[in-house]
């Protein structure tokens, strides 16, 4: 199994630009999670989906952030416009209903200058 | 709300020495607990989990953890660490149906 796939692995962009992060969950998993990791705030859950439907987006910091899951094998996290404080590592994770453990991707390191 | 507290932000230890990383959880029914490891520049990887049954849980890479209900703890232990165990370790608890809440992490530094 390929595991959770994220792209790009690194993204450097200028303030004000749109950023799109991508995630492919493990095949067959029906939950998908987006996390953000920073030194100051640790690992934060941003949003999660069940069967492609957003269940809880209470962790999304503000309207500049949006996430979609158009099908079971693909999700995006978009930041528009990006700001330097968005610099972080963004992780995608997936899990199978009833199994609770989450499988993480390698992350996308975002730097906004 | 359920949460976990990792009491040590950093634990230095010499190679081949035993180590314990501490985690306390807020009390509730049906506690499901997890330990994850994050190696530099990588995602989190599941080390072990406690869902029910035996309170001593064995995981990968020689790690084990003990669920202690009376002390609301789930400490991670390894009898002899290697340089390659240098990483960040996260304790997590299930909240709601499928969500996990993670602790702030403990950085394990193994030196020769």
The pLDDT tens digits of the residues spanning A24-67 come to: 999 999 999 999 999 888 899 999 999 999 999 999 988 999 99
Phi/psi at B84 (nearest 5 deg)?
Answer: -70, -10
Q: What is the mean pLDDT of chain A?
A: 95
Residue from B38, B98, B103 to probe the interface with A (highest A Cβ count within 10 Å): B98
CA distance A16 to chain B (A): 26
CA dist list (Å): B68 to A14, A59, B27: 49, 31, 11
CA distance B13 to chain A (A): 23
pLDDT for residue A69: 97
What is the C-alpha to C-alpha distance for residues A73 and A4, in angstroms, rounded to an integer? 10
Contact A101 B90 (CB under 8 A): no
Per-residue tens of pLDDT for chain B, all 112 residues: 788 999 999 999 999 999 999 999 986 667 899 999 999 989 999 999 999 888 999 999 999 999 999 999 999 999 999 999 999 999 999 887 788 899 999 999 999 9
pLDDT for residue B37: 97
CA dist list (Å): A7 to A34, A48, B15, B46, B112: 13, 18, 36, 22, 36
CA distance B5 to chain A (A): 13
Residue from B99, B101, B103, B107 to probe the interface with A (highest A Cβ count within 10 Å): B99
User: A81 preceded by cis ω (within 30°)?
Assistant: yes
């Amino acid at each position: 199994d390929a595991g959770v796939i994220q792209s790009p692995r690194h993204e450097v962009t200028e303030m004000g630009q749109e950023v799109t992060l991508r995630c492919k969950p493990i095949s067959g998993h029906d939950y998908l999670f987006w996390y953000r990791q920073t030194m100051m705030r640790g690992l934060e859950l941003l949003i999660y989906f069940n069967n492609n439907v957003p269940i809880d987006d209470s962790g999304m910091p503000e309207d500049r952030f949006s996430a979609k899951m158009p099908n079971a094998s693909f999700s995006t996290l978009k930041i528009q416009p990006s700001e330097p404080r968005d610099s972080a590592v963004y992780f995608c994770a997936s899990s199978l209903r009833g199994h609770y453990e989450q499988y993480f991707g390698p992350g996308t390191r975002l730097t906004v200058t | 709300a359920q949460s976990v507290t990792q009491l040590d932000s950093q634990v230095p230890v010499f190679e081949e020495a035993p180590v314990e990383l501490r985690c306390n959880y807020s009390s509730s029914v049906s506690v499901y607990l997890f330990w994850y490891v994050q190696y530099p520049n990588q995602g989190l990887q599941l080390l072990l989990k406690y869902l029910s049954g035996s309170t001593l849980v064995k995981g990968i890479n020689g790690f084990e953890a003990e669920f202690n209900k009376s002390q609301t703890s789930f400490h991670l232990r390894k009898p002899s660490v290697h340089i390659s165990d240098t990483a960040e370790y996260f304790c997590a608890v299930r909240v709601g149906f499928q969500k996990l809440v993670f602790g702030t992490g403990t950085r394990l530094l193994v030196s020769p």
